[in-house]
Amino acid sequence: MSVETKRLKVFFLEDNPDDVELELYELKKSGFDVVYDVARNWKEFLDKLPNLSADIILADYSLPDITGIEAIALCRQMKIDIPVILITGEGNEMIAVDSLRLGAIDYLLKRNIAGLSARISRALEIWNEKKAKQRAEAEGKRLQELFLETQKMEAIGRLAGGIAHDFNNILTGIMGYSELSLQDAPKGTQLYQRLQSLIMLSQRGADLVKQLLIFSRKMPLESKTIELNAFILETMQFISRMLEETIEIRYDLRKNLPRIECDTSQFTQVLMNLVLNARDAISNQGTITVKTEICSLAVDSLPLKAADLGKEYVCLSVSDTGIGIESENMQKIFEPFFTTKELGKGTGIGLSVVYSIVEAHGGFINVNSQKGEGTTIKIYLPFVETLYSTDESPFYDSIADKELGKVYGTETILFAEDEDVLRELIVYVLKSFGYNVLSARDGAEALNVYCSSQQKIDIVISDLMMPNKNGIDLFKELRALNPDVKFVLSTGYSLSEQDETVLEKMNAIVTKPYTPMQLAQLIRETMRA
């Protein structure tokens, strides 16, 4: 009800026209501009309920074929959210109690009809206060559930990060021993090929771990030049595990796409959000199509600058055969926390994240959807002019084939690593390359070795995550002792939460899994720097 105009929409459930006229007279006398409709029996009431638009229902307590209390029950059953005042000629206290208990907002005797306007005004105030409280409680419940969901995702992220750290140590050991064995195996033999396959499979395991870290938001953000098709096929191997077998995934990938510059961790999030939204739209039964092409921006498709028109882009689109998007929701789908999904089925932040990532990469998004005919979300990305045609994984740098002579040295190395098998492997290999190697099981032991050693330690290589003292704290204390200390940090986790000013002072950072040969090459580069 508008306070300024006092306009009031009333629905009467009343079989006596004189009573309707009397109630209208009272309302108009008090300054209400009344718009009204009337139902005189059960049938008329039932026919008009589905399209009912009213501020309040004034229901006679007793009609020939329906009572006011039955009318309230019917409104509840049909989810008609309108306050009801019962009006009766009987002053029965039990009727009044039952009316209020069963959902009436007020109860009025016909002989007191002169007070109708005041009772309606008060009833609407109470109703609005009640609705505001319900909305606040619902919003509080939604925010609580969102908070719990966020906590759950953070816990999953920590779990994934911990698993990734341990698994990277295992992969480093597998790759290291495989590479050692490869040096002893005659080239061209079946054993040599098997060892190469073992290293290749370990690399793919490393890809999987990196994607786990991406989903848990434990990977530092960094852009690199990639070929989009290879990125899609590799990432979809991981995402497809989240889809039901009843969903068909189709690929329409243009060959010889130009390279794009992007952060693979962020674009894994983009592809995951688009595919999982498509999955939800088709209700676990239908087709999702992932397509790449080179295209131009249409004049009427996006708000563009004149310089953008006619410019070519690498395009990634994800289409589904689902329910489509209501036209009134099209302008809201990228708004944070907007969702049409059921409570608990989505937070409404997925597409807003997609939008911000694409925009940060200088791209555009276009959405084409019709209710009942599916949805296509197309992303336009600027590309690097040179064509890119390689099968190399966009997530992992392949092992370089270097001459052994370039990795030998005679310096003294302090190697700190809490994983016993990995520590023993690296110490053995570095000693075989001519180095004098001291080892430590954790940061505290490494600091003691450095301080008590009678030899000059030329370079320290330390794992990030160790008991007693981690690699960051070890570096800080060593640098306090020797500002010129050469220090290499090894990690199978993430540096995104570490102080960048500290990391910049280190000589190098090596990411697990790595092979002994890669580490030996890094040592030589660090010593020459």
How far is CA 465 from each of CA 162, 262, 504, 507, rounded to the nearest angstrom? 10, 29, 18, 18
| Residue 378, H or E segment | strand 375-381
Q: Which two tokens stand for residue 152?
A: 């759950």
What's the confidence (pLDDT) of residue 328?
64
What's the confidence (pLDDT) of residue 390?
42
145 has a pLDDT exceeding 50 = yes
Q: Which of 204-218, 219-233, 452-466, 492-506 is least confident?
A: 204-218
Average pLDDT of 130-157?
Answer: 75
d(CA 487, CA 459): 6
Cα–chain center distance at 336:
11
What is the distance in angstroms between the CA of the first residue and the CA of the last residue of the chain? 78
Confidence of residue 338 (pLDDT cuts 50, 70, 90): very low
Of residues 390, 397, 400, 396, the one with CA closest to residue 179: 400
pLDDT tens-place string over residues 290-306: 999 998 765 445 544 44
Confidence of residue 483 (pLDDT cuts 50, 70, 90): very high
Residues in the chain: 529
What's the confidence (pLDDT) of residue 496?
63
Confidence of residue 202 (pLDDT cuts 50, 70, 90): confident
Preceding peptide of 513 cis, ω within 30°: yes
d(CA 284, CA 261): 33
218, 157 in Cβ contact below 8 A? yes
d(CA 104, CA 507): 76
Confidence of residue 1 (pLDDT cuts 50, 70, 90): very low
460 has a pLDDT exceeding 70 = yes
Confidence of residue 36 (pLDDT cuts 50, 70, 90): very high
Q: Which two tokens stand for residue 457?
A: 């330690």
Strands 258-263 and 247-253: unpaired
Backbone angles phi, psi at 449, to 5 degrees: -60, -45
| Residue 236, H or E segment | helix 228-239
43 has a pLDDT exceeding 80 = yes
Out of 66-70, 198-202, 368-372, 477-481, give the one with best mean pLDDT: 477-481
Give the mean pLDDT of the chain. 80
Question: CB within 8 A of 129, min separation 6: which ones?
Answer: none
479, 473 in Cβ contact below 8 A? no
pLDDT tens-place string over residues 91-126: 666 666 777 777 788 888 888 888 888 889 888 988
What's the confidence (pLDDT) of residue 296?
79
Average pLDDT of 244-269?
Answer: 87
pLDDT tens-place string over residues 322-335: 888 766 665 666 66
89 has a pLDDT exceeding 80 = no
d(CA 108, CA 90): 10
Token pair 């039964």: residue: 285
Sequential DSSP letters for 386-450: EE------SS-PPPP---GGGG----EEEEE-S-HHHHHHHHHHHHHTT-EEEEESSHHHHHHHH
Q: In sequence order, which ranges of 42-109 are alpha helices (DSSP H)?
A: 42-48, 68-77, 93-101
507 has a pLDDT exceeding 70 = yes
Q: Which two tokens stand for residue 27?
A: 């309302």
Question: CB within 8 A of 457, min separation 6: which ones?
Answer: 412, 413, 414, 438, 450
